Amino acid sequence: MSQPHFLLVTLPAQGHINPTLQFAKHLIRIGVRITFITCISASRRMTKVPTAQGLTFLPFSDGYDDGFQPGDDIDHYMSELRRRGKEAISEFITSSENESKPVTCIVYTLFIHWASDVARKHHIPTALLWIQPATVFDIYYFYFNGYESTIKAQADETNRKRSIKLPGLPLLATRDLPSFVTASNVYRWALSLIQEQMGVLADESNPKILINTFDALEHEALNAIENFNIVGIGPLVPSSFLNSNDSLDNSLKNRSFSIRFRRLPPWLDSKSKSAVVYVSFGSFAALTKQQLKEIAQALISSRRPFLWVVTNRKDGGKEENEEDKLTCRDELEQFGMVVPWCSQVEVLSHPSLGCFVTHCGWNSTLESMVAGVPVVAFPQWTDQGTNAKLIEDVWGNGVRVSANEEGIVERDEIVRCLDLVMGDDEKGMEVKKNVEKWKGLASEAAMEGGSMEMNLKAFVDNIAEGCCK
C-alpha cells in the first residue's frame, strides 16, 4: 500500500495548533505523510512556519487574514471559516488525487466538524482530534443526550452548592462545568457548534474520536460513553518535557510570537530549586485591572521569586499593553520579572520552578503535569473550570483559587494557595507526591512503546484496512 496521507485541519489559534502539530509529529514518525491546513492568520503570526520531512503546511484565507479581533462578528467569522475552509479542503483533495497523492484520512479539531462534509463527498474517512480532556467531551455529550435539563438546573447559580453526577464522572458543581454550558446565552455560537459536532459523530457508524489524554489519567471518562470508542492518544506535549532531544520536535516548534526574552535562563539559573512561581494565563485570557492588581499584590506579599507573563493584545485593531495596567511595577521587580512572552517549555522544565499559576488551559495543564510542577488553578472560561476541578479533587496535583462575589480572586486567597502547594506541611507534601506520580505516568504513556504510540499505530492501521476494502 502507498504511504498514508493525512490532512489535519484546525482553527488558527495557538491552543489548537500546538497539540495538532504534536499529533502530526507522532504520525510522521510512524510513516504518515501530513498536510497541515489552517488559516493565513496563523502563519502570519509565526516567525517561522513549522517544517519537517513528511509535512506540508497549507494556509488558506478565511477572510480574516489579520486574525479575528475583539468586536468582530463571531457568527460571521465562523460562517466564513466554514465556507472558505470547505472550498480549500475540497480543492486540495482534488489536486492531491491528480498528483497521485490521495488523502487517506482527514483529522479535524474542535469547531471544524464541517470538514466531515467534504470528506463524505470524497469518500474519505475522518477522525475527531479532541484537544480538551475526555471529561469535558463527556459533559458535552451528556448535555445533548438526555441531561440538558439536569445540567441547566445545576448551572442555576442561585443554588451553588448543588452537585450533579454524570455517568463515569466525578461529582460536579456549577463552577466545574464548561462555561459554554453555564453561560449558554453568552456562548450560544459555541454550544451550537458543539451540538453539531455531536450530531456528526452520532450519524457515523464507527466514529473515530482521538483525545489528548491518556488512560491512566482519565480511564473512567474515556469509557463513560457506551456508543463511542474513544481513544487517548496523549499527552501531546513537546518532547523537551520528557528530557528528549527530538530533532523532529525542534523542527516543528510553533513560534507564534516574534518577541524573545533572552535574559530568562541566567535569571532562572540564579534561583534555588523549586523556588520560583511562574504565572501565565495563556494567549486569550484578558484580566481586569482589578484582578491584575490583586495578583501583583499577592506576588509582592508572598515574597517569592516569580516570573509573570503579561501579554500584549489587540483591541479594535489597537495594541493594548496589559503591563501598563500595573501600578506597582517597581515594587514587583524587587522580587521577580514581568515579561511579555517566554518559552513555557523552558520555564516549566527548569529545576528552579516550584509552582505554576495557570488559567488551566488543557495544553498548560498537561505540560505542567509532564514537567512535574505543582499547580495553582486559576480558571477563566471554556473547559478550564473542569480542568481545575480535576487538578484539585481528582488528580491532587494542585489547588484551586476561589473568587469573591464579584468574581475577583483576592490577594490573600492567591497567597493562601501559593503557601499550600509550595509549603512543606501535609497538604504541600501530598500535592508534591501526586505531582511525581502523574509525571511518571504521563512519561510512561508518551515514551516509545507507550499507550500513545500503540493507540496511534492502531488508529493508522484501522484507516489503512478501511481503505483497502
Catalytic residues: 16
Per-residue cell: 243: 528530557
3-state SS, residue 405: coil
In Å, the largest CA–CA distance within the chain is: 68
SS3 labels along 318-367: EEEEHHHHCCCHHHHCCCEEEECCCCHHHHHCCCCEEEEEECCCHHHHHH
Helices (H), 56-187: 74-98, 115-121, 134-143, 148-154, 179-182
267 near 294, Cβ under 8 Å? no
Per-residue cell: 295: 495578583
Name the residue type at position 356. Answer: F
Q: Residue 3 gets which letter from DSSP?
A: P
135 near 169, Cβ under 8 Å? yes
State the Cα angle at 42 between 40 and 45, rounded to 5°.
110
Task: Calculate the CA 432 to chain-centre distance.
Answer: 23
Length of the chain: 469
User: Rounded to whole angstroms, how far apart are CA atoms 171 and 167?
Assistant: 10
State the Cα angle at 201 between 198 and 207, rounded to 5°.
145
User: Rounded to whole angstroms, how far apart are CA atoms 464 and 469?
Assistant: 9
Helix (H) or strand (E) holding 277: strand 276-280
User: Rounded to whole angstroms, how far apart are CA atoms 467 and 170?
Assistant: 39
